[in-house]
Amino acid sequence: MIVRFWGVRGSTPTPTTNYVKYGGNTPCVEVRTAAGQLIILDAGTGIRSLGQVLMRQAPPKGHRIMLFFSHYHWDHIQGIPFFEPMYVPNNFIYLHGFTTPDASIEKVLSDQMMAPFFPVDLSVMRATRNFYSVGEETLQLGDAVITTRALQHPQGCLGYRIEADGQTVVYATDHECGSAVHDRNLLELADQADVLMMDTQYTSEEYPSKKGWGHSTWRDAVRICKEANVKLLVLFHHDPDHSDVFMDNLVLQAGREFGSVIGAMEGMELDPSQSAEGTSYRPAFHKRYLDRYPVSIPATVTISSGTVAQQVLLENLSLDGSYFLTPTEVSVGQEIEFQLRFPGTDPNQPTKCQVRVVRVEKVGNQFGVGVSFRMAYVPSSLDVEELS
How far is residue 6 from each of residues 172, 231, 277, 287, 289, measured CA to CA in Å?
A: 16, 22, 25, 12, 17
What is the per-residue pLDDT across 30-53, written as a single tens digit (0 to 9) for each? Answer: 999 999 999 999 999 999 999 999
**298 vs 303: CA distance, rounded Å:** 15
**Is the model's pLDDT at 255 over the cut of 60?**
yes
Provide the pLDDT for residue 311.
76
241: Cβ–Cβ under 8 A, 6 or more apart, which residues? none
**203 vs 291: CA distance, rounded Å:** 33
> Containing H/E element for 190?
helix 180-190
Residue 5 carries which DSSP code?
Answer: E
What is the per-residue pLDDT across 89-103, written as a single tens digit (0 to 9) for each? Answer: 999 999 999 999 888
Average pLDDT of the segment spanning 279-299: 56
**Is the model's pLDDT at 387 over the cut of 50?**
no
Tally Cβ neighbours within 10 Å of residue 82: 15
Hey, what domains does the chain have and what are their CATH numbers? 2-287 (3.60.15.10), 290-387 (2.40.10.220)
Per DSSP, the residues of 115-128 read TTT-SS-GGG--SE
**161 vs 1: CA distance, rounded Å:** 13
How large is the angle between the packed helices 244-258 and 218-228, nearest 10 degrees? Answer: 30
What is the per-residue pLDDT across 175-193, written as a single tens digit (0 to 9) for each? Answer: 999 999 999 999 999 999 9
List 233's β-bridge partners, or say none: 196, 261
How far is residue 225 from each of residues 12, 124, 184, 214, 387, measured CA to CA in Å?
A: 27, 44, 13, 19, 43
The model's pTM: 0.76
**End-to-end Cα spacing for the chain:** 34
Q: Which of the residue ranges 75-89, 242-256, 272-286, 298-312 has the most confident prediction, judged by mean pLDDT?
A: 75-89
